[in-house]
Structure 1
Amino acid sequence: MPHRAGKNRGSCAGIGKLCFSAICCKGKRRVVFRAAFGCKKISSNQKDACYSLQETAFAMIGEATERALSFTEKKELLIVGGVSANKRLSEILKKICQRQKCKFFVSPIEYAGDCGSQIAWTGLLEATAKKGAKLDETFVRQSWRLDTVEIDY
């Protein structure tokens, strides 16, 4: 019987949902507003705004992670993929793990990028398990939650 990704695997994917679009929209509006009043070059205020957007996004990720660790009582956190290369995010998550008394792990930088071969391998497994699909039955779903994907292999 197929199971859902994340079930019985220690995943916290279903704990919370983060939406960054509002932060990006607000930031873009500020830049457009400033440009409308003749501010052509990137000022230190805009650089500060970009930094603030990053910190806000990281704080959201940190809060969701801390809640997930507390709720699930997990004692380890591993970050992988592109986000694991960000030292600032790692610093925030490490402090959270210290507060939650759990171990913190970061994948080595050589494995930190998004990996096309992993995606291709998963596609191969899916194609083998489901015997392929007709092109008109396929689709792209951006922001597809991993904990809702049926796994047949």
Structure 2
Amino acid sequence: MAEEMKRMIALGFEGSANKIGVGVVTLDGTILSNPRHTYITPPGQGFLPRETAQHHLQHVLPLVKEALKTARVTPDDLDCLCYTKGPGMGAPLQVAAIVVRVLSQLWKKPIVAVNHCVAHIEMGRIVTGAIDPVVLYVSGGNTQVIAYSEGKYRIFGETIDIAVGNCLDRFARVLTLSNDPSPGYNIEQVAKKGEKFIDLPYVVKGMDVSFSGILSFIEATAEEKLKNNECTPADLCYSLQETLFAMLVEITERAMAHCDKRDVLIVGGVGCNEQLQEMMRIMCSERGGNLYATDDRYCIDNGAMIAYTGLLAFAHGTTTPLEESIFTQRFRTDEVHAIWREKEATEKKAN
């Protein structure tokens, strides 16, 4: 029976933002294929829902073919099809939802709807081997401090306005940095040349953080100080990163103390940032714990994380009826019943 479970295979679709990804994964976490394509806009511009959805429509079917070919599987080998239900941008989410419905009927395969945030966590856990960490989920659309408790991933702290990735992306637009491979990555590279720290607002409210005021402040500062040659773009990027990441380390450490946990797992696109990882690693080591993080193959949105998380749910009897295979822009992390974690805890007690 265990061998049968390990051989279970899922195809997953991720398209909640500017990346469309298709992944093929087995239940033991083996990633057979994980191609994706990113919609990149000109410097100084963000990505709009309609244009992003058109990009996804253009690339999704070639990605399906590539994923199946690389994984060396056929539709007959698949046990289920998984897709991102939400959260995310409406029009891009719709692409994956429609494709998965069509393929489900063509291939006669069950559907599993997946929460994007929970998928990041499960991909992080299987890739790094983190067992029960406090999770810092940081991306363009989300900023949350999370820990598992009694069947659900509970949110202990979060942004009360914009996400940390959105803050970084929008400041990259002010500096007209390239969006290739991502604005946050390019801010990180520029920040490495920064020498002068500029004081910015530091907004931590209990377990929550706020970034919109910092963004407004640094936008005004950039306009004034860059014009008068009082600092460089590198100084501003360095100062912004240090301030934002210090706030994230603070609320993560507070959650660790509250939950009595020593380890931290960073997931989401901003989790690739090496400076954030280093600051968090220092804090964890001072508490006698470990930091777990992944590189851009897995921390950035991808199809494999959707396939793997959907397969975990499917293996425990969860499927999504065709008529309920909807998408939604708002889908809280703590709405998901993580049935596989409950079984995991039960098995540990039995042993």
TM tier, smaller: 0.5 to 0.7
Whether contact under 8 Å (1:94, 1:104) holds in the other structure is yes
- Superposition pairs of residues 111-126 of structure 1, within 5 angstroms: 111-119=298-306
1:64-95 CA deviation, whole Å, 9 max, x = no partner? 11111111111222223323321111111111
Whether contact under 8 Å (1:12, 1:68) holds in the other structure is no
Instruction: Give the structure 2 partner of residue 140 of structure 1.
Output: 329
Structure 1 length-normalised TM: 0.67
Indicate yes or no: 2:211 matched with 1:20: yes
Question: Aligned residues, how many?
Answer: 140
CA distance in 2, matches of 1:99, 1:12: 25
1:115-139 CA deviation, whole Å, 9 max, x = no partner? 14434776897xx43654497xx64
Query: What percentage of aligned pairs have identical amino acids?
Result: 30
CA distance in 2, matches of 1:17, 1:105: 22
Runs of 5+ unmatched residues, structure 1: none
Tell me which of 287, 293, 296 is aligned to 1:100. 287
CA distance in 1, matches of 2:237, 2:299: 23
Instruction: Give the structure 1 partner of residue 150 of structure 2.
Output: 8
Determine which structure has the larger helix proportion and give its number.
Answer: 1
Instruction: Give the structure 1 partner of residue 254 of structure 2.
Output: 67
Determine which structure has the larger strand proportion and give its number.
Answer: 2
1:43-80 CA deviation, whole Å, 9 max, x = no partner? 74342122111110000010011111111111222223
Indicate yes or no: 2:242 matched with 1:55: yes
CA distance in 1, matches of 2:297, 2:325: 36
Q: CA RMSD in A?
A: 3.6
Whether contact under 8 Å (1:77, 1:103) holds in the other structure is yes
The one-letter code of the counterpart of 1:8 is E
